[in-house]
Amino acid sequence: MKVFQKDIKLKPYPRGFHLITHTIISAIPEIRQIQKGMLQVFIQHTSAGLSINENADPTVRKDFETFINDLIPEDYSKFIHTYEGPDDMPAHIKSSLFGASIQVPIKQGRMALGTWQGIYLCEFRDNGGSRGLVMTAIGE
């Protein structure tokens, strides 16, 4: 059994949904040593999330952003956690809906993503800053 773990800091991204698949692949090349296993990617923040979805058409990411902002608006009058700005409480809710981690099977030294799948950083703050990821690859 092999276990590899890496921490990385992502560059700051603007609010929205961003493909980070290649960043993850570059940051943990040790997965090439695993024939069968699992990669977990965990984001260490409560106002951003991770997701796996369409990797080819950027309008999908734009539609995600439009829909989630319509679903959880910043001007919702019943929020009481507002002292960090109008985008903060909506970002916490969005983060919980999308989740803080993803799991991807490793097969023959590569992430076994589907042809049209990519890993998204879901940045829910206007100025979220650099985001930390912990990646753990386990397998044989």
Q: Model confidence at 53, in pLDDT bands (50, 70, 90)?
A: very high
Determine contact, residues 125/87, Cβ cutoff 8 Å. Answer: yes
* pLDDT value, residue 21: 98
> CA distances (Å), 121 to each of 13, 16, 27, 107, 133, in order?
9, 8, 15, 23, 10
* pLDDT value, residue 55: 97
pLDDT tens digits, one per residue of 77-90: 999 999 999 999 99
Q: What is the average per-residue pLDDT within 128-136?
A: 98
Eight-class DSSP state of 116: T
Q: What is the pTM of this model?
A: 0.96
DSSP H helix total and E strand total for the chain: 3, 8
Average pLDDT, the chain: 97
Q: Name the region of 128 (left: φ>0; alpha: ψ -120 to 50; beta: rest).
A: alpha
Q: Which domains does the chain have, with CATH numbers?
A: 2-76+89-139 (2.60.120.460)
